[in-house]
Amino acid sequence: MRSTWVWSMAVLALLAAACGSGADIEVADVWGRPSPSVATNGAFYMVITNNTEVADHLVAASSPACAAAELHESMMNDGVMGMAQVGPAGIEIPANGQTTLEVGGLHVMCIDKQAEFVAGERFDVTLEFENAGTVEVQAEIKES
């Protein structure tokens, strides 16, 4: 009985290792749109995966490409499009789940661009998670 249990645990561990890189938080497809230099601000989008059993929250972001960065959400109210900072809890990444920051929705708002957002350019972005701590990623500037 005992050895069956040990074996199944070993198999599960192997499967888990094969399925993911194992990081608690994985961030993919980080990108931003090219914009003219007269456009003061930019936005970064990405897909965040939480591989842990508890919900995590993206609570802050920063980048040398931005004088300041805020977590924002664009939303439609009665047909009027607005944009606002998310609440102090940040952006939730559900346990064993995924949150997508995308056009017309959640985004990292890059305030007062410090660099040219030209296609092909890459910028370092530092993400701060409540549980997972600091995660460094790179945003690619591209059309979509």
Sign of CA dihedral 72, 76, 78, 79: positive
The count of residues in the chain is: 144
Smaller CB separation from another protein, 23 or 84 = 84
Q: Does 88 bind another protein (CB under 8 A)?
A: no
Beta-sheet pairing, 25-32 with 133-141: parallel
CA distance 106 to 140: 17
Query: Within 13 Å, how many C-alpha atoms sit on residue 7's CB side?
Result: 4
Taking CB under 8 A as the rule, which mask of x and - marks residues 2-41 in contact with another protein? -------------------------------xxxx-xxxx
Which 101-130 residues touch another protein, going by CB under 8 A?
103-104, 107, 109-112
| Partner from Cu ion, another protein, none contacting 77, C-beta within 5 to 8 A by type | another protein
Write the CA distances from 115 to 4, 48, 72, 121, 127, integer angstroms: 58, 25, 20, 9, 19
Which 53-82 residues touch another protein, going by CB under 8 A?
67-68, 70, 72, 74, 76-77, 79-82
Binding site for another protein (CB under 8 A): 33-36, 38-43, 67-68, 70, 72, 74, 76-77, 79-85, 103-104, 107, 109-112, 143-144
Binding site for Cu ion (CB under 5 A): 72, 83, 109
